């Protein structure tokens, strides 16, 4: 397994083109791994996430079974003139040694961009419909439902007896984005391929994403290793689900 970091040059037109659609960036990420099966179901899990520190500092993180070659991203959305063999424009590190060191009771700072959803039924007898959580309180509730199965517990805040869950845990929910994009915006299909099996046109993909930043404690190292390499929640192809850890500060 590899953890990779690529700094995006937001001043370049190519970067702005990729950032305009998660589908475009998804395709660009996959292009860094030659020989991937054309069938998505047969591909290994490749997770990615964009971290915005400010308007100009934008980092792309990847977790993948193989080391990527991001030369095409450097040329389109990086600093190609500064690239050299020792520093090609991205950093990839072996992830397995870190994963193996995880132990029950460890405390870590974490960051996760996710697509918090739940299933609802508006009327009796109707099928359930997947709906996004849109408020920070409900988005945090979604993360609390995920923690046990993924091998961690959110750390309590200094005021963990607070009535509001948003004040009870050492977590900040922020960066909500409402995304809507076509699944294949750069490759228009023939008229017959633009319809689904019922003969209707495919609508846009819509996602509501949120960023979770805070502290956690490891409760099940194996489950947490799986979460770190396989992701959490839905929307993994579009920049959701990648959980990363860092030393507490």
pLDDT in tens, 93-135: 999 999 999 999 999 999 999 999 876 666 666 676 778 788 8
Do 129 and 240 fall into the same domain?
A: yes
Both tokens of 211, joined, read: 């960023």
Do 88 and 210 fall into the same domain?
A: no
Burial category of 31 from C-beta neighbours within 10 Å (exposed 0-12, middle 13-18, buried 19 and up)? middle
DSSP assignment of the chain: -EEEEEEEETTSHHHHHHHT-HHHHHHHHHTTSTT--SSGGGSPP-EEEEEESSSSEEEEEEEESS----HHHHHHHS-GGG-BTTB-SEEEEE-HHHHHH--TT-EEEEEEEE--EEEE-SSTTSPPEEEE--SHHHHHHHHHHHHTTTTEEEPB-TTTT-SSHHHHBSEEEEEEEEEEE-SSTTSPPPGGGSB-TTSPBP--EEEEEEEEEEEEEES-HHHHHHHHHH-SSS-GGGT---EEEE---
Nearest to 169 by CA among 177, 159, 179, 178: 159
Domain boundary among 63, 98, 133: 98
Give the domain CATH number at 160: 3.30.70.1210
Both tokens of 23, joined, read: 């589908």
Do 110 and 80 fall into the same domain?
A: no
Domain encompassing residue 65: 2-98
Domain boundary among 67, 98, 129: 98
Do 109 and 210 fall into the same domain?
A: yes
Q: According to the model, what pLDDT value does residue 124 have?
A: 67
Cβ atoms 132, 123 nearer than 8 A:
no
Do 197 and 136 fall into the same domain?
A: yes
Do 73 and 135 fall into the same domain?
A: no
Pairwise CA distance, residues 13 & 25, whole Å? 14
Q: Flag residues of the chain having pLDDT under 70.
A: 54-55, 119-126, 128, 160-161, 184-202
Q: What is the mean pLDDT of the chain?
A: 87
Do 139 and 239 fall into the same domain?
A: yes
Residue 148's region, left for phi above 0, alpha for psi from -120 to 50, else beta, is alpha
Q: According to the model, what pLDDT value does residue 121 have?
A: 60
Q: Positive or negative CA dihedral for 186, 190, 193, 195?
A: positive
Do 92 and 106 fall into the same domain?
A: no
Q: According to the model, what pLDDT value does residue 176 have?
A: 84
Do 59 and 115 fall into the same domain?
A: no
Do 152 and 231 fall into the same domain?
A: yes
Count: domains in the chain: 2
């Amino acid at each position: 397994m590899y953890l990779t970091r690529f700094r995006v040059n937001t001043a370049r037109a190519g970067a702005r083109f990729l950032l305009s659609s998660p589908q475009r960036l998804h395709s660009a990420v996959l292009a860094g791994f030659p020989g991937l099966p054309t069938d998505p179901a047969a591909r290994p899990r490749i997770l990615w996430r964009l971290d915005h520190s400010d308007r100009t500092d934008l980092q792309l993180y990847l977790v993948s079974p193989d080391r990527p070659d991001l030369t095409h991203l450097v040329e389109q959305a990086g600093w190609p003139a500064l690239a050299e063999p020792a520093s090609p424009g991205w950093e990839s590190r072996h992830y397995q040694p870190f994963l193996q060191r995880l132990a029950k009771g460890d405390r870590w700072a974490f960051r996760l961009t996710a697509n918090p959803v739940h299933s609802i039924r508006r009327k009796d007898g109707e099928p359930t419909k997947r709906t996004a959580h849109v408020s920070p309180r409900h988005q945090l509730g979604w993360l609390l439902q995920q923690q046990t199965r993924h091998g961690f517990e959110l750390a309590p805040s200094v005021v963990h007896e607070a009535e509001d869950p948003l004040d009870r845990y050492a977590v900040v929910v922020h960066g909500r984005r409402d995304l809507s994009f076509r699944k294949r915006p750069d490759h228009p299909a023939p008229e017959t391929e633009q319809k689904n099996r019922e003969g209707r046109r495919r609508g846009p993909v819509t996602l509501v994403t949120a960023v979770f930043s805070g502290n956690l404690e490891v409760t099940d190292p194996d489950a947490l290793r799986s979460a770190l390499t396989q992701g959490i929640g839905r929307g993994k192809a579009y920049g959701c689900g990648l959980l990363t850890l860092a030393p507490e500060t």
